[in-house]
Structure formats: structure tokens, C-alpha cells
Amino acid sequence: MMSVIVISGIELCRKEISGVERYIYEVIVRLDRMLQDIKKDELPDIRLCYRKGETIQIPELKRIRTVAIEQRNKRSKTKDILDYARKNQAVLVTMAPRLFLYPRQVITLYDVRPLEKEQYDAFRYVVNFRLIRLWLKLHREIKVVTISKDQKHRIRKLCGISADRISVIGCGWEHMRAQETDESVLGRFGLEKEAYYLSVGSIARHKNYEWLVRAARQHPDRKFVIAGRENALKGGYQLEYNNVPNLILTGYISEAEKKALLENCRVLLHPSKYEGFGMPPMEALASGRPIAVSNVCCLPEIYGKTAQYFDPEEENITLPDEDGIDLKETERVLQKYTWENAAARWLELLKAESGI
């Protein structure tokens, strides 16, 4: 008997888009398109669920049913979706590191930073990952999706689960092609085209923006920009950047503004100390800009010869070359990591989970 697939839509009810919301949105939209090419009697029963009274940020879907569930539990966003999955004896899919106490489940772990580098995150986030690890050990039928081979290795090691339970389904970049550009952001922050170094991402400890502060202090004739909001899971972290006039923090910006900053930067700098994938460098490559990234975690795996690499701990910083990008290698990376490929892998996984 074919099982119902219930996908949690909790993250798609947020107004602001970060990497997790972007991943879920792009995968589901493309998954729905792929399902339109499958005969109706061979279609898995996939339902995207959210709570009534909330607005889900997704266009109308043709093959995936969008289900608004009555809010019976005001305190917990997960309880109503969990009850719906149980009632329908469904496989529950969460494309986020959100714990559901339910055995028939596919959970997405973008990285296991809270288990490996506890100092980078708020205690409540660390506890959430400890509970996820325990639940994975107790229920061997639960499958895990992650976004790089590096993270698959770390999940196996830190969670003690077998490799056959973990699928690697990476990120993509095609949203950059469809996104409009808002260059008014350049004027708002006094930026000239190709005259600033850019970093994109939330202000969090593991992003290592101290490296950017050092770079700005050591190169006062250059301008540096950090585009990103403060991270609610940062655990009390505050970036110290007083008396660095050539460093600009934009706060949260729209996707159209982000595209403008990426298209017009000198080089995209990504000094992170820990990543599951690292989407901003992929977005920069798709925008035709050179990238320089730290030589840690998954970044060499994902970006290969397209990037210049540096030690994120280095004290004396040499700024990267600005000679452009290796077009052949960039094309290879952009063909490998696409939202189309990610959706196709998810379709394979969900068909198997549904029993088709």
C-alpha cells in the first residue's frame, strides 16, 4: 500500500528568506513540476502542510496538495502537523533540522555544527540537535538528508548511524537567474561597482566575520561589506567592529538587493569556519563574480578549482586576486549543483519512501 508523504511547511511561513527557506522553496516548486510528468496512477500522495492562520510562501502547486491544518496547539508549531501525520499513517518529511517525535520520518540536517562546535550556537539549539541524535539512534527507520559529502561523514561519526540511511542532496543557484536586481542598494550604502569586497550571511559566530574585521583594518584603502541579518541562534554573539570605517554591515536585505551586491562586488569573500554547503559562493559564481573561501569543511569539496582558498585563522591577511574566474571549472560546478538535480534526487527518495 502506498504511503502518504507529509512535508512540513513550517519554514515556508516565514517572511524573510535564508538558506533553509530557499532550499525548501526551490526543491518543492521543482518537485511539483516533475510530478506533472508522472501518470496519475503512479503519483505519490505528497501533501505540504502548514497551520491555518499562517501564510505559506509558495506559488500554487499542481501535484503536491497544500493542506492547511487547524491550529489545536497554540504553543507548538510542530504538534498539529505531527498529529496529522499520525492520523494519516504518513511518512513525515521535514526539510529542516526540526525534531518530530515520530519514527516514520525523513529529516534534513544541513550541518551538525551544534554537535561538533557547541560554542557556536545557543544552548537551546544544541539541545535540539542532541535530541535529534538520540531519536536517530532509537529509530533506525528514520532517513537523513544532508547537503554535502563532508556533512554525511560528520553525521555518521557524530550520530552513530549507517551511511545507507543518509542521502546527499545539495543546493542550487537557478533562483539567481530568475531574481530581479535592485541596484538602489549600492547608492544607499555609498558603494561603487566592483569597488568593494562582499560577504553574505547571517551575523553568527561560525561565519567568522572577525576575519573581515581584520582584513578591513589591515587594508584601510579597501571597502568591505557584510550583507546579512543577526542570527537568533547565535547564543549571545556580538561582532565587534568599532572604529572600522571601511566595513559596512547592511543588516537584512531583500533578495533583489542581494543580487545587486553580488553582481557588482569585486570578490565574494566567505571566511566561515563551519559550513554544510556554503550557498553565497555558489550565488556569486552564478553572478559571474570571483570567489575566495576558507579551506575548511565542505568548501573545497563543493567549489574545487573555482575558488581561491585561505586559512580562516590567519592573522596577516592577503586579499585575493581579482583576475576573474575559471569559466570551464565554473560551468562544471554550476551544472553539478542545481535545484533541478536536487529536486530529482528528492523525487527518487520520496517515491521510495511512499512505496512506489
Q: What is the pLDDT along the chain (356 residues), one digit of tens a residue?
A: 688 999 999 999 988 788 899 999 999 999 999 999 998 888 899 999 999 999 999 999 999 999 999 988 877 889 999 999 999 999 999 999 999 999 999 999 999 999 999 888 889 999 999 999 999 999 999 999 999 999 999 999 999 999 999 999 999 999 999 999 999 999 999 999 999 999 999 999 999 999 999 999 999 999 999 999 876 555 568 898 889 999 999 999 999 999 999 999 999 999 999 999 999 999 999 999 999 999 999 999 999 999 999 999 999 999 998 776 788 999 999 999 999 999 999 999 999 999 87
Question: Structural domains in the chain?
Answer: 5-172+338-354 (3.40.50.2000), 178-336 (3.40.50.2000)
The set of residues, in sequence order, having a beta carbon less than 8 Å from that of 128 and lying 6+ positions away, is 97, 99, 114
The set of residues, in sequence order, having a beta carbon less than 8 Å from that of 239 and lying 6+ positions away, is 203, 209, 210, 213, 249
For 11, 37, 71, 96, 116, the CA distances from 48, given in Å and listed in that order, are 11, 19, 16, 14, 32
For 38, 78, 160, 301, the CA distances from 163, given in Å and listed in that order, are 30, 28, 10, 18
Query: Whole-model pTM?
Result: 0.94
Dist. CA 57–CA 47, nearest whole Å: 15
For 110, 194, 325, the CA distances from 266, given in Å and listed in that order, are 29, 4, 12
Instruction: Write out pLDDT tens, residues 201-243.
Output: 999 999 999 999 999 999 999 999 999 987 655 556 889 888 9
Helix (H, G, I), strand (E, B) or coil at 62: coil
